[in-house]
Structures are given as C-alpha cells and as structure tokens.
Structure 1
Amino acid sequence: MGSAAVLVANRGEIAVRVLRAASEAGMRAVAVHAEGDEAHVRAADEAVAVAGYLDADALLAAARRTGCGFLHPGYGFLSENADFARRCARAGIVFVGPSPEVLEVFGDKARARDLAVAAGVPVLPGTRGATTQAEARDFLAGGPLMIKAVAGGGGRGMRVVRRAGELAEAWERCASEAEAAFGRGELYVERLLEGARHVEVQIIGDATGAVTHLWDRDCSAQRRHQKLIEIAPAPELPDAVRQEILDSALRLARAAGCTSLVTVEFLVRGDAFHFIEANPRLQVEHTVTEEVTGVDLVAAQLGLAAGRTLEDLGLAGPPAPPRGCAVQARVYAETAGPDGSVRPSAGRLTRFDVPAGPGIRVDTAARTGTEVDARYDPLLAKVVAHVPGGGVEAACARARRALGEFTVEGVRTGLGLLREVLARPRFWAHTQVVAEHARPGAEDVTGRPADGTVPAPMSGTVVSVDVSPGEPVGAGQQLLVIEAMKMEHVVRAPGAGVVDAVHARVGATVGEGRVLVTLDGVSGSPAQVAPADVADPDHVRADLAEALRRHAAGLDEHRPEAVAGRHASGRRTARENIGDLCDPGTFTEFGALAIAAQRHRRSLEDLIRSTPADGMVTGTGRIGGAPCVVMSYDYTVLAGTQGLNNHRKADRMLHLAAERRLPVVLFAEGGGGRPGDTDTASVAGLHVPTFHRMGRLSGLVPLVGIASGRCFAGNAALLGCCDVVIATPEATIGMGGPAMIEGGGLGVYRPEEVGPLSVQVPNGVVDIAVADEAEAVTTARRYLSYFQGRREDWEAPDQRPLRHAVPENRRRAYDVRAVIDGLADTGSVLELRPAFGVGVLTCLVRIGGRPLGLIASNPGHLGGAIDRDAADKAARFLQLCDAFGLPVVSLCDTPGFMVGPDAERTATVRHFARLFVTGAHLRVPLVGLVLRKAYGLGAMALLGGSTRVPLATAAWPSAGRP
C-alpha cells in the first residue's frame, strides 16, 4: 500500500495487533492514546494523545494532523458507529470496516433480525425493535427471556429474567449499561434458549458484492454472557448443520451487502439453530480463525479498504478446509468472589512472563511495569494454541499447558479459571457449562466492616450516587452504582441506618475496598427508615394513557364512520370477522400500533387516525381450542392494500406460523400492492418475502383463505396459496384489478367483471362458495376442525339406506353423495370444489369421529370417467390429506380415464399422470372401496396406482357383477 498511513483508533492488545499488521503492509502506523494508557504505542511509528477513544472529533483531527488516509477502529469503542464511519468518509479518510449502511443494519439488532427473517435465516421469538418494560413483562408470560441491548454487543446490556420480580431491576441495569457502552439505552427481549451452544461464522466481503466465509468458531465457554474461550472450527458440529449455518450466514451477509469483516452469531441446540446477532467488525476471537485458515484478517481488512477484491487477496470461492484446531483463552485482570461475581483487578504488573513455543501465540500490549487501569476492559492477553494436525482435545491441552507457564504478578487474573475450564471434557456443550461447573474464587471476599463503612466491592467508575448525608436508608437499599468492565454493579446498604457521609462522586474512579459511604446506626431498627412512597394502583400514568389511546384508536368503537359504511354494504368489519372466528377472549393482536409508511407526506396524527394497524389486523387466537394465526386485510383502511408495514406484520405472522406450526386463516379482501408508501428506499418492493413465506407454509400447516368483496393482485396471490378458498357472492378475485388491466391496454372493466364467482367457482379457484361472511367464518372453523383430531361426540346415520344407494342396474346413474352421506358420521361431510372437476368428488368427512379424506368417482358425470379437471382435483386433494395426516377412503366406480381427440387436446397425459405420481407418494393409509366398476388406468389411479396399494381394497355387493 506504499506510503499510506493508518490511524489505529483503539488501545491495548488489538491496537498492537493492527499497528503491526499495518507496518507489515508497508503503511505508516499511527497510534492514539489517552493519558496514562500508553502501553500499545511502542508498536507505532507515531503516537498522538487524545482525551478518549470515543472522542470522534479528536480522532479525526489526529488522523488529519498525521496525514492518515485510513482509520482502523479495532473493536469496541467506535468500531460499529455508522455516524463515525460517515464522518470519516466526509473527511476523506477510509474507515477500515464495513460500509455505514452495513454498520447501521447490524448495529440495530431489530433491523438485523428483520433482515435475517427476510433472508430465510431462523431467529428466536422476540420483540421487534426498542421494547418497553411493559411489553417485556407481557413477553415474560410466555417463558424466561433474555434482555438485550438494541445496539452493541460483547455481553453488555444483557440479563436473563425468569420471574416477573426480577424484571424491573434487570431492565434498569441493562438500559444504563447499554447507554454507557453504546450511547443507546434501548432494549428488546428474546425467548431464552437454554442448553444451546454459541457458534459464529466469519464472513468476509468486498466492494464488488463478492462474499465468502472463513469457517466457524465455537464461543460457548462464557461467563455472564461474556466469552472466555473460543475454538475454531466449532467441535462436534454435524456436517449438515454446519453447512446450513454457513449457508445462512452467507445469505444474511449478501442481503446486507457485506463488505470487510462481519461475524454472524447463532445459538445452536441439536440440529436447530437461531440467528442472534451480527458484528460488523474484527472480533476479539479472530485469532483462532487466522490460525486454522492461514488468513491474516487484519491485513485482509486493510487490503479491502484499499480497494482490493477477494480475488486479489486469494479468497474468492469456497475456502480451503480448516487446518487442525485452534483455541483462544482470554486472560483478564480480575478477582472472583465466593458467589461467582467477578470484579476487575487494577494495579501495576510487577511481573509479566508470557508463554512461548510451537503452536503458541500471545496477543497483548502488557509487559512488566504496565499499569492496569480499571477504566478499561481488563483483558490483559489472549493466549492462542494451534495444533495443525490435531483436534480440539490436543488444542485444549496445549492451551492449558501454556496458561500454566503464564506468570502474572501485581494483579489477580482468571488464569486458574481458564485452566479449570480447559480441563473439563466438552466444556463447549452449552453456554452455561462455566456457570454450572467452575469453582467460584475463595479470595478477595469483601464485606461491610463493623464500623458501618461501605467499601467499593471492585475497582470501577461511579456512575450514580443515590443517597445524601442525613438520609435514612433501609437494608438492601441502593446507595451507588459502579461501572466496571462496561457492566453496572449496584452497591446496597448492608443494613438499616442513616447516611453519615458519602465519599464518592459521579465520574470518580475508585479502587476496590475504598470506602464509599459511612452509615450510622447500622444495627438500628428499620423503623428509623422513612417508608417508601407507594404508588396508587388506580392511577394511570401519562405513558400508559397514551398507549391505551393509541390502541383504542384502531378499534371499531372508535371508528364509527368506517363501521357504518361497512354495515351499510351488508358486510362486517375485519375485527368483527376475527371476533366471530376465534374462540371468545383468545385473540391476541400483533402490531396493533402500526401505521402506513407515509410520514414523508402525512402527519403522524393523520396516519394514526386514518391508517390503524396499517390496514391489516394480525394476531393469534384459538379456533376450536387450537392455536392459529389470523390475518385480515381491512378494506376500510386504504382499500385493504398491502403496505410496507402490513407486509412486515404479515411476514412476522407467517414466520410465527412456520416456527410454531400454527394454521393460518387469511381474510384477503384488498386491492393488492400500495403505491403511496413513502418511508422506504425500495422502488419495486420485489424483495418482500411475504409471498415466499406464504408459499413455504403450503403443506406445512393448514391454510384457509376467505374472499369477500374485491381481492386483487397481491391479496389474490396470497389467497391462491391457501389450501382452501372460501368466498362470498360479492367476491371478485383476480391477479390484477381494473386499474392494472386498463393500464396494460387490456380494456376497461368494472371490478365485478374481473373475477366473479360465476368464473372462479367452476374453474376451481374457489373451493367453497358461501352466502355471507358469517357462513364463511363458520365454514373456516369447520374446515380446521378436521385437522384438530378425533371427536368423541359423533353419531352414525342409519346404515340401511346404503343397501339401495347403488342401483342393481349397472347402467343406471346414481348420486354417489348418498353413499358418502351414509358412510360418514351425521353432518360431517364438507365437500370441496363441488362445481369444478365434477367427475370426482373430494370431501372431508368423519367416520367414527375420526377425520378422513374421501374421494369418489362420479357416475353421474361421463359415466364416472375421469377427465383432466377431475384428475387435477383428486391429485391436489390427496396432497392435502397426505400433508396433514388424514387417511383416505377412495370410492371407485369408473370406466377409466376420459379418452379421445378432444380429451387429448387438454393435455390429459400429463394431468392423469399427476394422479399416479401423487398416489405413489402417499404416506397416509388408503382404503379402496369399489362400488361397481373399476376399469383400466383410471381405476388404478383412484386406488393409489394399483389395487395392491391400498391398506385394504373392498367391494360393494354390486361390484363386478355383469
């Protein structure tokens, strides 16, 4: 890179690592340092003093003053700050890392989760975006959760919450930690996945759009969500699972437009894995990837920043297999208490002897005489062991031996803990192994001296002082908050008393054991303490009142004009239909506060008033006692069109349906894509995953579509993905509405002329035509009941009429429905597509309370011969039954397939063969019942392809008689 210069905007071991790589690349390496923090500058060609590593103005000024055209942020500090990256670009300085756009996406975990969902990458159930404590409490009702910071990472702003009583304090601490560490205090929650491993993928991309991976790492050895030991590649990961994880990481990286380095992190349990976050920067554990791949990741970063491509760097295409195994152990300056709590240890290193030898690498900025400062991350060194021809056991043994040779005096370290963990078999089994098995330290136990002084339990910075002299306090009351290792620790009163003096101020750095507060009368009665204010449980706070107002604004009772207009047309509202569909009191709405993405052209109040729920009511409820996903476009809001935010809602619900295997009911009335949304950079919206997700649900869960009124374009596309389509008389369904038809020069039509039921029922688009929306809802509930198991309250009809259901005269036509009604439980027959493919009947029935699928040739049409539409109808129905485990009864009375020139013009060869293919792949039991005739290929097709295929083939008394 010639005489280029790079400023390294970091400290400690990572600054040394980058400075050395820059020098080896022929660049002038410039360091920055805060006062008293110069250990890393010896690796630099030049050093500049700055006030702090988060001072963007000072860093940019230092880069300009030293003539640096590149700035490498390392990790932490400003490494994931998109605004800082943009400021670098405006200053003509190349930020060595991903683009600001990638930093923004992955720096916001909510956006990263959305992108993962859009890319088809599994994620854990969780809230979307910045979440309130009340929303977290509601989410906690579904099981233990993990609080996470929306921005940042490294274990900061994270807490596990299992009980409601733990939430408030954990929430406050996480928000404060996140604000201090990342400048943003927003939080969200995810479902806690216990017993899982932490596996991550190293991604590298260039400005041409090329992206590849450099294999994976296991980071399961963690303590309080912070990594201790990392392994590359991840051990004991099945090849198929590893490949799926790698593929998912690549899909996500490509979707984000990844440049430079990005690490994509997953939780893995068994064969299942879930995306948790992506870090668009160099990772602390990059070392193990470098050892097993032979790729200098920092040099690669610098090369990419200089405009080189993956091909230039020799990294295009699939990577070579990893060379052996590498293990990294993070050596912290720390003291562990008897309860397992960890405190940073500060002081001067009086001795610092690092291990050496084949396969051992130590990354550090420390040496004898270095002052370890509690203001910064207490990572002293990273010890990396690599065994090129060995496995994880050999690498762990080498790392353990190296740690045994590491001598540190002057501060306490976690060397003993690391050696203990490395000695434990399969310490990477899940992320709680260290917490469950590591022995807590028995030293540095701090407590309250007898004189009533309250000492600092650790070295750190005071971020909050919550009491004043003369103030009475109760046992356990919060006195101060100390930040150490980017985590906040509450100092509490050891007993009831009165504050005599406060010896610390906000912003002060205190050493472990320093007296913070002196209390008088610590052994006194708790009655000396003034009672805490008790909130009025009936008082409605302003924030709650606003939330209630927003929710109420979208309900029918607050939209009288829209409701009246709907009723005037003889129709029901979306919420009325959902209320009728779901069991009483079971519907939980998702995304009720969404509004149309039109803030660039309409006011917020207007959007709240006019576009509630962005025109789509979504949620979960119970139908017949079974959980289901329900989605209804709301025609009273922008004609039920598909907007940016209701697409997101639909995507969320479809993802939930897939993850939880929940049936979906879709009320599809609406006009298709909405052109008026402005709050997006997308032009065509072709990236929207809604249609892909709906299609993937086919065969996975039952899908019910209901059409009433106008259903065009995108709404019709989703409707067509459903297993069954139920429609009311006024429905008109088409892949394009009148405006699209006219715009394409195809004529001018009224909506009612595009796809009325007179067209869509006989052509098979509509499975069940009903009288109105009430009947549509009743039919939907009835349809789903066939997939909800056996019923005990069944009644068999009188069987004697079956003796006469099939005429003795073999040439006499008859209605096979009489046979079906006699075989099935009373009132249990639901016929699908009765006006399409009438040569075969397809019905859902119950026999003895058990749900079944039933197909029957129709002797009243073409003498029972099977034509093209009948074959298609039967094949599709068999696929439905097979997908959801319904055994099939086939009633056969057919002379075979319909033949002749007219039949062949309809491509019957292909259509008839589809029935054979479907029958051959049935996994559910098939029972054949020959009523009269069973001739030729048509009969074989109705019986699964052969009379030997059914579990049993029986004959009616009239069968086979001449």
Structure 2
Amino acid sequence: MSNVDVSNVRGHMISTLLVANRGEIACRVFRTCGELGIQTVAVHSDADENALHARVADATVRLPGAAPADTYLRGDLIVKAALASGADAVHPGYGFLSENADFACAVLDAGLTWIGPSPEAIEAMASKTRAKTLMGLPLLGEVTEDDLPLLVKAAAGGGGRGMRVVRHLKELSAALEAARAEALSAFGDGEVFVEPYIEHGRHIEVQILADTHGTVWALGTRDCSLQRRHQKVIEEAPAPGLSEELAEELRTLSVRAARAVDYVGAGTVEFLVADDRAHFLEMNTRLQVEHPVTEAVFGLDLVAEQIRIAEGHALPTDPPRARGHAIEARLYAEDPPRDWAPQTGTLHRLAVPRGVRLDTGYEDGDLIGVHYDPMLAKAVAHAPTREEALRKLAGALEKATIHGPTTNRDLLVRSLRHKEFTTARMDTGFYDRHLTDLTKPAPDPYAPLAAALADAHGRSRFGGWRNVPSQPQTKRYALAGEEIEVRYRHTRTGLEADGARVVHADARLVVLEVAGVRRNFEVARYGDEIHVNATHLTALARFPDPTAQHAPGSLLAPMPGTVVRVAEGLTAGAAVQAGEPLLWLEAMKMEHKITAPSTGTLSALNVVPGQQVTVGSLLAVVRET
C-alpha cells in the first residue's frame, strides 16, 4: 500500500487530468473536464492512434503496442505519461486498471491526485471472497447435489469473465479449470470461488457517492437484469417493482459497505434479488458503465462529483430528489444469434434522434478494431414515467442511423418492447428464454427493391430504357442469411416494379406506394454493403465465384481473434462428437467456443494456441461419419 497521506493530496485544485482508459468512458470524462475548464490528456495504444478519445483530448501520450497487457494495463507507463504531460490527476474510468490498488498507489506515490477511493478500500473490495467476509456473509463450503446449480466466479475482476454455470457435479472440475484460466488471463489472478446459482434472480445495484467528510449518499437503485454472457445489456433507474422495504434495505446495506472501508468517491454495490430477498454480490470501486441512468434521474454529473470530491469538496447532507425514470441500452457491434460474435469494420454512420443521450467513443468513419470491447455506444432516454422512457428509447433506436458492421440494435428494440420487460417481470435468464424469438429475422421485404431502384437511378438516361418490350433487370442480395433476387424495368415513364408503384427513386431516397400507402426508404451504399433504413443487405455478384468453396465440415473463424486454447489432447485424426468443444477464440474481451459441427473425425487442425486468425480463416475440418 501507498505511504502517501491521501488527505494531503486531496484538496488540490485539478488543472490537468489524464484518463487512464480509452473509448467511450475517456470521451465521457473529457466532456465533463471541458465543462469544468480542466485540461485533458489521453493515452492511446498503437491501435487507438486515431481513436476519438485521442482526437478530442488536449494532449496525447502513446503507449507502444496494441494488446491491453502492453498498453492500458501498464500502470507504470501511464504514470510516466501523466508526469510527462504535466497532468496533476488521473481518472481510471472503468475496466482496465480502475480497480487496481497497486495502480492507485503508484498514482499517489507520484504525487498525483487519484480520482477514486483509497487503495485500501479498493484492496478490501477487490476480491469477492474478501468482500463477502467483510460484509459478514458466509462462503459456500463443500458442495453437494443439493447445492446445484452452481456458479463458478473469478474472485477478482468482473464483466462476466471467469464465470461458469454448473448444473451437474461432474462438470464442476472442468468449469473450475476453465474459469481459473480465463480469470488469470483477464485479471492476472486465477482465484475462483463457487456459490449457488440463482436461476431467476434480478440484478439490482445501488449507486454510492461518498466524500472525505463522512457523508455517504445512496443514489437509488438500478436494475441490470438483462444480460448476455453475464454482461449487462439494458439498465434502468430506479429498479421497477421493488417494495419500499426492500429498496430501503438495499440502500442501507450499500451505505454500510461503503462505511466499512471508509469509501470515497463513486462506487456501486451489487445484489441479486430473488423472492424479495437481497443477496450481496460485490462492490465495484469505480464508476459503472450504466452511471448515466442515475445521472438522468438525480440531475447529477457523477464525473464532476468525483472530481470535486477528489479536490476535497463536501457533499450536501442530503442527495437531490429522484425525478422520473431513465433507461440505457448498450449498442454493441455483435451478432446475437451467432453466439454474440463481435463484429469489426468501418462504422460509416452513427446517429440517434434528438432527445436521447448518446455516449460513444466513435465518430462516422472510425474503424471498429479487434483488440477491445465491441460496445459502440450507450443510448439513454429519460422521461417522467417508465412507460414513456421505454417508448422513447425503443423508438429512437429503431430510427437510429447505424451504417457499418452488424449490431444488436434490433435485439435492443425488441427487448424494450417485450411484454416480460414492459411489465417488469424480467430476470437474468431473460435472454436464455427469449433469444431465439428476439433474433428471428424480420427484414423489410421492400428493402431489396429499394436498394435495386436506388442503384438503377439515372440508368435510363444512358440507354437503360428501350422502345420495345424487354426482359426485366435483376439484382441479387444477401439478406438475413438468404439470397434475394429483385426485378424492375426501365420504362418510358420511369422505373417500374412488381407489387409496388415507384413514386420517386434516386441514389439516396426511394419512395414506394404499396396498397395505397407511401413509404420512404433511405439508401446508403458502401461498396457491396447497403443500408436501407434499418435493413442491412449485401450486394451479390451476378455470377458466384466458383473458387470460393470450402470442404464439407470446415470450421471457419467467425471473427478475427486469438486462439487461446485447443481442447486437451486434440490432434488430427481424433474422433469427435457433435457439439464437442474443439478450441476457443478470444476477441474483443470475450471468449468464443468453437465446437464440432457433427460427429466424425478431425481430419485437419490448422491452428495452435496463441495464433492470430482473421474472419474466414480455416481452423479445422471435421469429416462426418
């Protein structure tokens, strides 16, 4: 621990602040700094040299390399960057080193102001096992069949990494081994523990804000139950449907946790709620991704409050009153029905209608790379009631312009409108139950026609129209996993299409009238990728390339990433069963399991642990028996 007297550091007026992070949270902190008149410093990896957070900062410092372990997890390099740039304070954001007590010590030892709790508080709550002991809660001892199902969890870190659900005791040993390996890779700490897995609980948390003068605020509750891979997708404040008694119990327990470690700054205490009972999960000693919903409801800027607290200012005795309801949806570059596979490529356009807050680390034209989390943005709606906030956010996402790789936008809209969610009956198993229905393809049937007409715009002026009957023009598109062929004609009066009257067509806007109803279709094309309103299509060549073939049973990389491990003892010639895990890829902070497509023989294994692969790389071949 640091030998620096933190009280001597606090009280210093901050003039230049370095954010030891990247992307959306760095941009978020810089925005508040700009409003407070504080100069900003960004650190960036080589992969982030042209990232938005590096572009908007007043000064930047390079961290050589691309992997997090070489860059954003190098506390020594970040402290050097702060000193070299003249920064007098460091904000850790969330993730990376935000809950690393040694990093907080290094910042303080360098004479810099640390925007966060003391290293001692971070250390006390860093391990979930130690936190439970501190809270006076028992740990699960020897497990039996009666304890099933179980949840294996990493003692350090979060974000769903190092977690495995166990439904049969025979699976426990393998789950422990896999969780330890992932936890060691993600957090540098392989400690894991086991607790009962509550199937239908709600994930509820309380925002804490505490100053150096003994005041602790419990800023209401948040519901974060909608999760994929134990990572949150939709959050809201206040948590709906809680009894006042339970809400008060959660606030009381959270304040008790904060006081137990002399907490200072912003933090979050997390619970699993089932049968109107609260089960303590952990305390996150940092700002949460979902903090904007609390800001909206309480009319606060939590980053500004963090800075003021670090400068020694006191909070008022009582927090502001909560007003209305706020809901946040995390927009990810990922493909939910394909095991949430992260997507990469150029984000050509990102915009949401006015009235909805958008926190993002991207601008139009930015590249979504392979090295970091695939979250593009957070969209937040605030309204007097939950029903109004739901409608506002779902409508804004539906009308948002998102041109680029596949995203979870449609899933978010459908989730916000699902009856189980609108009636506040959701729990952490929501996507386990409903993912198939929520991701059924429902493309606009007229989108391919609109794309073809936009592409054909103006061709009649260069010989497209003929004075004699002719065959219709055809175009082919890939849409929702299917090939679609559309037909249209150039006529004396313009473009014609079966089933719809063409009211207007140019390269960017097509207006069709179907059964007396006119609809506008905005069209944008980037190479072979076409966006028609919210529908994404791919233009196909008129004649398919006969060389673009793979042998039956070929396993292709669904994303760019790193092969982190291969199943033990797996070699070419081995017999495999359908669904059997063969290898694991890591991409964008997530681990993805590659399984055998059928029962047969592994006729080829083309990769080894540590190997980098690109989308479509041939990983292995299974010859079906």
Shorter-chain TM range is 0.7 to 0.9
**How big is each residue's C-alpha offset from its partner over 1:408-446, in whole Å with a ceiling of 9 and x where there is no partner?**
222000011111110023424322123212325357889
Which residue does 2:34 correspond to in 1? 23
Cα pair 2:570 2:582 within 8 Å, conserved: no
Distance 1:17 1:185 in 2: 32
1:129-208, aligned counterparts within 5 Å?
135=142, 138-208=143-213
Which residue does 2:319 correspond to in 1? 319
Distance 1:333 1:366 in 2: 12
Report deviation, 1:392. Answer: 1.0
- The 1:70–1:189 alpha-carbon spacing in structure 2 relative to 1, beyond 3 Å, is same
Task: Using the aligned pairs only, state the percent identity.
Answer: 43
Report deviation, 1:513. Answer: 2.5
Q: 2:393 aligns to what SS in structure 1? A: helix
Is there any run of 5+ residues in structure 1 with no aligned partner, and where? 118-122, 129-134, 311-315, 525-962
Which residue does 2:252 correspond to in 1? 247
Distance 1:278 1:475 in 2: 43
Report deviation, 1:116. Answer: 1.4
Report deviation, 1:29. Answer: 0.3
Distance 1:419 1:425 in 2: 12
- The 1:99–1:3 alpha-carbon spacing in structure 2 relative to 1, beyond 3 Å, is closer
**The structure with more helix, counted as a fraction of residues:** 1
Cα pair 1:177 1:486 within 8 Å, conserved: no
Distance 2:285 2:572 in 1: 47
Distance 1:180 1:27 in 2: 36
Report deviation, 1:300. Answer: 0.9
- The 1:417–1:478 alpha-carbon spacing in structure 2 relative to 1, beyond 3 Å, is closer
AA of the residue aligned to 1:17: R
Report deviation, 1:153. Answer: 1.2
Which residue does 1:375 correspond to in 2? 371
Distance 1:442 1:511 in 2: 27
**How big is each residue's C-alpha offset from its partner over 1:908-960, in whole Å with a ceiling of 9 and x where there is no partner?**
xxxxxxxxxxxxxxxxxxxxxxxxxxxxxxxxxxxxxxxxxxxxxxxxxxxxx
Which residue does 2:397 correspond to in 1? 403
Distance 2:221 2:604 in 1: 56
Which residue does 1:497 correspond to in 2? 601
Distance 2:387 2:185 in 1: 39
Distance 1:206 1:110 in 2: 26
Which residue does 1:431 correspond to in 2? 428
Which residue does 2:279 correspond to in 1? 274
Distance 1:295 1:190 in 2: 36
Which residue does 2:62 correspond to in 1? 49
Structure with more relative contact order (C-alpha pairs < 8 Å, separation 6 or more)? 2
Do residues 308 (structure 1) and 313 (structure 2) align? yes
AA of the residue aligned to 1:31: A
AA of the residue aligned to 2:591: E
Which residue does 1:516 correspond to in 2? 619
Distance 2:18 2:129 in 1: 32
AA of the residue aligned to 1:39: L
AA of the residue aligned to 1:113: K
**How big is each residue's C-alpha offset from its partner over 1:609-658, in whole Å with a ceiling of 9 and x where there is no partner?**
xxxxxxxxxxxxxxxxxxxxxxxxxxxxxxxxxxxxxxxxxxxxxxxxxx
Which residue does 1:819 correspond to in 2? none
- The 1:451–1:431 alpha-carbon spacing in structure 2 relative to 1, beyond 3 Å, is closer
Is there any run of 5+ residues in structure 2 with no aligned partner, and where? 1-11, 65-70, 442-479, 483-548
Which residue does 2:573 correspond to in 1? 472
Q: 2:279 aligns to what SS in structure 1? A: strand
Out of 89, 93, 97, the residue aligned to residue 70 of structure 1 is 89
**How big is each residue's C-alpha offset from its partner over 1:872-923, in whole Å with a ceiling of 9 and x where there is no partner?**
xxxxxxxxxxxxxxxxxxxxxxxxxxxxxxxxxxxxxxxxxxxxxxxxxxxx
**How big is each residue's C-alpha offset from its partner over 1:57-80, in whole Å with a ceiling of 9 and x where there is no partner?**
211111111011111110000000
Distance 1:357 1:46 in 2: 30
Report deviation, 1:271. Answer: 2.6
Cα pair 1:30 1:45 within 8 Å, conserved: yes
- The 1:217–1:513 alpha-carbon spacing in structure 2 relative to 1, beyond 3 Å, is same
Distance 1:80 1:195 in 2: 29
RMSD between aligned residues: 2.4
Which residue does 1:83 correspond to in 2? 102
Q: 1:516 aligns to what SS in structure 2? A: strand
- The 1:2–1:109 alpha-carbon spacing in structure 2 relative to 1, beyond 3 Å, is closer
AA of the residue aligned to 2:398: G
Cα pair 1:465 1:481 within 8 Å, conserved: yes
- The 1:326–1:297 alpha-carbon spacing in structure 2 relative to 1, beyond 3 Å, is same
Which residue does 2:241 correspond to in 1? 236
AA of the residue aligned to 2:340: V
Cα pair 1:213 1:318 within 8 Å, conserved: no
Cα pair 2:567 2:583 within 8 Å, conserved: yes
Q: 1:105 aligns to what SS in structure 2? A: helix
Do residues 456 (structure 1) and 557 (structure 2) align? yes
Do residues 506 (structure 1) and 506 (structure 2) align? no
Report deviation, 1:6. Answer: 1.0
Report deviation, 1:302. Answer: 1.2
Distance 2:621 2:148 in 1: 41
- The 1:264–1:470 alpha-carbon spacing in structure 2 relative to 1, beyond 3 Å, is closer
Report deviation, 1:487. Answer: 3.1
Cα pair 1:346 1:511 within 8 Å, conserved: no
AA of the residue aligned to 1:483: E
Distance 1:449 1:159 in 2: 34
Following TM superposition, where does structure 1 have runs of at least 4 consecutive aligned residues deviating by more than 6 angstroms? 443-446, 467-470
Report deviation, 1:455. Answer: 1.1
Which residue does 1:392 correspond to in 2? 386
- The 1:299–1:153 alpha-carbon spacing in structure 2 relative to 1, beyond 3 Å, is same
Distance 1:349 1:364 in 2: 12
Report deviation, 1:507. Answer: 5.1
Q: 1:400 aligns to what SS in structure 2? A: helix
Distance 2:224 2:111 in 1: 37
- The 1:468–1:34 alpha-carbon spacing in structure 2 relative to 1, beyond 3 Å, is farther
**How big is each residue's C-alpha offset from its partner over 1:215-236, in whole Å with a ceiling of 9 and x where there is no partner?**
1111111223111111111111
Q: TM-score, normalised by structure 1?
A: 0.49
Cα pair 2:152 2:165 within 8 Å, conserved: yes
**How big is each residue's C-alpha offset from its partner over 1:461-487, in whole Å with a ceiling of 9 and x where there is no partner?**
222245899743221465432113433
Cα pair 1:467 1:499 within 8 Å, conserved: no
AA of the residue aligned to 2:53: H
Which residue does 1:881 correspond to in 2? none
Distance 1:326 1:471 in 2: 54
**How big is each residue's C-alpha offset from its partner over 1:789-841, in whole Å with a ceiling of 9 and x where there is no partner?**
xxxxxxxxxxxxxxxxxxxxxxxxxxxxxxxxxxxxxxxxxxxxxxxxxxxxx
Which residue does 2:409 correspond to in 1? 415
Q: 2:46 aligns to what SS in structure 1? A: coil
Distance 1:305 1:231 in 2: 27
Do residues 343 (structure 1) and 354 (structure 2) align? no
Distance 2:391 2:111 in 1: 48
Report deviation, 1:489. Answer: 2.4
Do residues 10 (structure 1) and 21 (structure 2) align? yes
Distance 1:72 1:479 in 2: 41
Report deviation, 1:2. Answer: 6.0
Cα pair 1:173 1:488 within 8 Å, conserved: no
Q: 2:220 aligns to what SS in structure 1? A: strand
**How big is each residue's C-alpha offset from its partner over 1:194-217, in whole Å with a ceiling of 9 and x where there is no partner?**
322111100011223321211111
Report deviation, 1:321. Answer: 2.6
Distance 2:390 2:255 in 1: 29
**How big is each residue's C-alpha offset from its partner over 1:31-72, in whole Å with a ceiling of 9 and x where there is no partner?**
111113222222210111113211112111111110111111
Distance 2:601 2:420 in 1: 49
Cα pair 1:469 1:502 within 8 Å, conserved: no
Distance 2:114 2:14 in 1: 17
1:617-628, aligned counterparts within 5 Å?
none
Q: 1:113 aligns to what SS in structure 2? A: helix
- The 1:139–1:182 alpha-carbon spacing in structure 2 relative to 1, beyond 3 Å, is farther
Q: 1:36 aligns to what SS in structure 2? A: helix
